Amino acid sequence: MGLAIANKTKVFLEMIRFEHTIFALPFAYMGALMVDRAIPAGNDLLWITLAMVGARTAAMSLNRIIDRHIDAQNPRTANRAIPRGLLSVREVWVYTILSFALLLLAAHQLSPLAFRLFPVAVAALSFYSFTKRFTWTCHLWLGLALGLAPLGAWIAIANHFAAAPVLLGTGVLFWVAGFDIIYACDDYHFDKKYGIFSIPARFGIAKSLSISSFFHALAPLFLLAAGLTLHLGLFYLLGLLIAVALLFYQHRLVSPDDLSRAGVAFFNLNGMLSVIMFCFTLLDIFFPIPVL
């Protein structure tokens, strides 16, 4: 019995690509750090972490349920757990509900405003999975879902809205939308054939890579604006410059004629970017050197 549960859990974590939590979690921590320019209490950090795990797990589980018929037809995704019968839809619904419950509990433990905004979070996390059925702006909706991470963490600590986390979240929005467009280029032929909406399917691969580049030019501007708003210092600026270099290199890896390294651009470089931005923001908190 225990071995069966362990195997199911392993399959589930592989299905939702749990390791991709690294994309948004560092930015959530950044939102929390920026409230008082200090490390929040350990209890708050714990609940923010659990909220992020619950939010992303619920969103990915729901996405796999909603997209199961599309996944079964796509050669790139046909090996996922639900199409292969490794997990049932009912089992994944259980994971989804438990994950949303974890998010609700975490929000209740963090701040009154975070708790009241729980339905908004659920709507944002759930809506993305439907967008590829009717709009090529689906990448921006994914960006919005992940861009809520720093704003949500700020609200969890401060219990109010502010301009800085909105700017930070908007930067995350364009960063995520940009790399999701690159990733979606791999499904260009499938999306065209089956009527799936995406920027590559709508505009073609060459124009889509240009749109991705434009989004990745916008993202650092919003991240810079967040830093200016909070008067962050040299280390934040250095982290941002490294992030810009990683975005530039990401676009050097792919071209309309060669998408073979899109996976490297999608995971390795973007995972590095979020961690680097967090680390340099943390350095800025400990060693403030005024620049911005």
Q: What is the number of alpha carbons within 13 Å of residue 218 lying toward its C-beta?
A: 20
Query: Residue 252 CB: number of other CB atoms within 10 A?
Result: 9
Q: Sort 61 into a burial class: Cβ within 10 Å, 0-12 / 13-18 / 19+.
A: buried
Domains by residue range for the chain, with CATH: 2-286 (1.10.357.140)
pTM for the whole thing? 0.94
- Asked if 281 and 34 count as a contact pair (C-beta separation under 8 A), the reply is yes
Query: Residue 96 CB: number of other CB atoms within 10 A?
Result: 20
Residues 6+ apart with CB under 8 A from 109: 43, 47
- Asked if 127 and 58 count as a contact pair (C-beta separation under 8 A), the reply is no
pLDDT, one tens digit for every residue, the chain (292 residues): 555 566 766 776 676 665 666 778 999 999 999 999 999 999 999 999 999 999 999 999 999 999 999 999 999 899 999 999 999 999 999 999 999 999 999 999 999 999 999 999 999 999 999 999 999 999 999 999 999 999 999 999 999 999 999 999 999 999 999 999 999 999 999 999 999 999 999 999 999 999 999 999 999 999 999 999 999 999 999 999 999 999 999 999 999 998 888 776 667 788 899 999 999 999 999 999 988 5
Residues 6+ apart with CB under 8 A from 271: 20, 22, 23
